[in-house]
Structure 1
Amino acid sequence: MKHSYPVLWPVPTRWADNDHYGHVNNVTYYSYFDTAVNAWLISATGTDIRDLHAIGVVAQTSCTFLGSISFPDMLQVGIRVARLGNSSINYELAVFRDAGDSLELAATGTFTHVYVDEQTRKPVPIPAVIRAAVEPLVVTAPAEG
């Protein structure tokens, strides 16, 4: 499973992530998605993406929970791209608990960035520096037949 994600981005859990039941609260997974994608974009582009003429706003997210995590677990967030459009990127993500010698799948999800003009908030083409960074992450469907 981890090999189907071209990027594994480290994200530590935090003390505040645990809820009263002793595990990471479900809404926190969305924060892990956002943190991993944007931190990876900054690293991969060598650019502070907040300074680009277009900004990526999150238009859609989803998450399927498969296992429990809690502080102080170390995580790896798998990142791949399911669709690269003109103004949007559909990411597929996986949250793995780093168990030392293995990664245990805790959740899978989706995350869609739509690029908009920073002033008008109208959709615009994905900035070239972003497109160049994410193109290698596009997952191609296996050939039919």
Structure 2
Amino acid sequence: MSANQPLPQRGEFKVLRPMQTRWMDNDHYGHVNNVAYYSYFDSAVNGYLMEATASDTRELSAIGIVAETSCRYVKEISFPDVLHIGMRLEKLGNSSVVYQLVVFRGTDTDPSAIGRFVHVYVDQKTRRPVPIPPVIRAALERL
């Protein structure tokens, strides 16, 4: 996402996952530390997939591993903020998916952070890329 593009807005997301900041997320400067955002992204994606597939995705023969992440910080969040993580797809490939994840504080319509998260599906045993399992693909297509 370039600096010239408009910021994504809350109403643009079909899926918003609730997330509670934790006391331990704050750093010495009084705001949520950058590393916590990646935990929010991971929890939002995997929570959505488990709910949308009604399965424990860790038990599938193909699992999604994180190949790339990034985050653009727009404004601070802090404990005890309640967040909503907006989720949508940037790209759905044969063996990979690219998510856009946006952090909204409370009822804010503009983002606090904008993330990118890439999952590559691999065979659970060999760790070689494989097609996205049909049950996962169906859940992703709903995004």
Contact 1:79 1:92 in 2 (8 A): yes
Paired position in structure 2 for 1:50: 58
Which amino acid in 2 is paired with 1:19? D
Secondary structure (helix, strand or coil) at the match of 1:10 reads strand
Please state how far the C-alpha of 1:104 moved relative to its aligned partner.
Answer: 4.5
Which amino acid in 2 is paired with 1:124? V
- Cα shift readout 1:78-131 (whole Å, capped 9, x = no counterpart): 0001110000000001000014xx444100010000000001000000011000
Paired position in structure 1 for 2:23: 15
Please state how far the C-alpha of 1:27 moved relative to its aligned partner.
Answer: 1.1
Specify which of 113, 116, 125 is matched with residue 119 of structure 2: 113
Q: Please, what TM-score do these two structures have when normalized by structure 1?
A: 0.90
Identity %: 59
Q: Map 1:129-140 onto structure 2 (within 5 A).
A: 129-137=135-143
Point out 4+ residue stretches in structure 1 off by more than 6 angstroms. Answer: none
Q: Map 1:66-85 onto structure 2 (within 5 A).
A: 66-85=74-93
Paired position in structure 2 for 1:89: 97
| Mapped partners of 2:111, 2:23: distance in 1 | 21
Paired position in structure 1 for 2:44: 36
Which amino acid in 1 is paired with 2:126? T
Paired position in structure 2 for 1:142: none
Paired position in structure 2 for 1:143: none
Secondary structure (helix, strand or coil) at the match of 2:121 reads strand
Contact 2:102 2:113 in 1 (8 A): yes
| Mapped partners of 2:12, 2:55: distance in 1 | 26
Contact 2:11 2:109 in 1 (8 A): no
Specify which of 101, 125, 134 is matched with residue 131 of structure 2: 125
Q: Please, what TM-score do these two structures have when normalized by structure 2?
A: 0.92
- Cα shift readout 1:8-37 (whole Å, capped 9, x = no counterpart): 000100111000011000111111100001
| Mapped partners of 1:116, 1:4: distance in 2 | 30
